[in-house]
């Protein structure tokens, strides 16, 4: 069957073109990667009625429905209306009209999360709750942005937060109750093996800490048998900036903020759309968030993104950031072996070459 297919239009509605002519894959948002299991029935139904019967778990934690025929897209868009309403409007509190025309934009990508402290004993933050709050600030928007939220700060954490424009990680300042400490030294070992080695047992059999280099992971609280170390009440975050994948110049995000509160994070995202609009001269175009920050420059970006945001007293921010790109396009460090540079005494054949 021939179609007059507007690929760009259906792409905005989150349908990705397939290598099979006339077919598309729907990508459904799952902000924070946590929803009620009841929605899975609808997903299964979509796959079987409109897709090719298979299901793909998207790499950005979307529900992907492959094999949707172009002529069925209209019907699929109507079918997912209840899902968009339940997940984005009801669950996340997004201010949007849910229509018969499916997702209104693909710009702001699905916000990824690890399971966080809803389950993980190492988690310092409820990741999906924060993701839902961010969703309502950045979606729907045509401006491209990738965000991931991790419960702890393993630098390459379960959700690979630092390969996103914004990688958010839960951290925590631990409280120490000296009277409960029996001097067993478990926290010293745990910190040394799993974290930074900033703890030591002093001559009184109590703990000294080099507070400057504590990263706030909570391994000490996790191991302490008497509850002398406990996670503090204040929820704090570390944020990396400017990570990205890509064919030409992928790079890891760099440390941007540390010990900031949720209010700082949400204040920052509340400014994202305004910042993007300004940076792109009010003409949304397909430009990854990280490239947008590059175009504007770090200092200018900071000025815009924190407009009206009040920092908590513990907060720290990078004065400047210099990213190291993993340059792919120029093939600068991969070349035929015959072109490799040689040093030292050469075999006659190599000399000749």
Binding site for ligand SF4 (CB under 6 A): 174, 181-187, 190-191, 195-196, 198-199, 207, 209, 214-220, 223-224, 226, 228-229
Angle at 82 between CA 50 and CA 113, to 5 degrees: 90
* DSSP reduced 3-state for 142: coil
Nearer to ligand SF4, 42 or 184 (CB): 184
Q: How far is the CB of 228 from ligand SF4 (least distance, A)?
A: 4
- Angle, CA 90 vertex, CA 106 and CA 128 arms, to 5°: 70
User: CB of residue 185 vs ligand SF4: minimum separation in angstroms?
Assistant: 5
The least CB distance from residue 277 to ligand SF4, in Å, is: 40
Nearer to ligand SF4, 236 or 264 (CB): 236
The nearer residue to ligand SF4, 223 or 321, going by C-beta atoms, is 223
Nearer to ligand SF4, 33 or 181 (CB): 181
Q: Which of residues 37 and 178 has its CB atom nearest to ligand SF4 in the complex? A: 178
Q: Which two tokens stand for residue 292?
A: 């947008």
Rounded to the nearest whole angstrom, what is the least distance from the CB of residue 259 to ligand SF4 in the complex?
Answer: 12
CB of 352 to ligand SF4, least distance (A): 57
Name the nearest CA neighbour of 163 among 275, 328, 290, 329.
290
Take residue 264 and report the two structure tokens written for it.
């700082």
The strand pairing partners of 237, in sequence order, are: 170, 260
Q: What is the DSSP string of 65-83?
A: EEEEEGGGHHHHHHHTHHH
From residue 18, alpha-carbon distances to 10, 51, 67, 76, 277 in Å are 12, 12, 7, 16, 31
d(CA 200, CA 184): 11
């Amino acid at each position: 069957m021939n179609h007059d297919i507007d690929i760009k239009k259906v792409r905005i509605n989150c349908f990705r073109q397939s290598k099979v002519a006339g077919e598309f894959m729907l990508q459904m948002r799952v902000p924070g990667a946590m929803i009620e299991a009841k929605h899975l029935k609808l997903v299964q139904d979509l796959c079987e009625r409109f897709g090719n019967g298979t299901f793909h778990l998207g790499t950005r934690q979307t529900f992907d429905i492959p094999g949707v025929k172009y002529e069925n897209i209209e019907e699929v868009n109507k079918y997912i209306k209840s899902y968009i309403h339940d997940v984005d409007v009801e669950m996340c509190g997004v201010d949007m009209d849910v229509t018969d025309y499916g997702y209104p934009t693909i710009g702001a990508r699905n916000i990824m999360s690890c399971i966080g402290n809803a389950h993980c004993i190492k988690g310092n933050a409820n990741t999906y709750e924060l993701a839902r709050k961010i969703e309502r600030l950045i979606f729907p928007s045509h401006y491209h942005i990738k965000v991931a939220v991790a419960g702890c700060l393993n630098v390459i954490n379960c959700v690979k937060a630092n390969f996103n424009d914004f990688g958010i990680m839960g951290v925590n300042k631990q409280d120490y109750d000296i009277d409960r400490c029996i001097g067993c030294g478990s926290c010293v070992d745990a910190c040394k093996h799993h974290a930074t080695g900033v703890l030591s047992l002093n001559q009184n059999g109590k703990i000294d800490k080099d507070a400057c280099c504590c990263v706030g992971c909570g391994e000490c609280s996790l191991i302490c048998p008497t509850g002398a170390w406990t996670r503090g009440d204040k929820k704090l975050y570390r944020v990396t900036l400017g990570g990205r994948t890509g064919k030409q110049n992928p790079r890891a995000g760099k440390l941007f903020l540390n010990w900031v509160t949720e209010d700082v994070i949400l204040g920052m995202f509340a400014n994202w759309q305004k910042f993007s609009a300004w940076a792109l001269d009010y003409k949304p175009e397909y430009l990854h968030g990280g490239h947008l920050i590059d175009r504007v420059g770090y200092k200018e970006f900071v000025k815009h993104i924190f407009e009206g945001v009040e920092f908590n007293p513990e907060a720290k921010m990078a004065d400047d950031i210099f990213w190291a790109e993993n340059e792919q396009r120029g093939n600068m460090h991969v070349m035929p072996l015959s072109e490799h540079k040689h040093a030292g005494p050469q075999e006659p054949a190599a000399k000749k070459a």
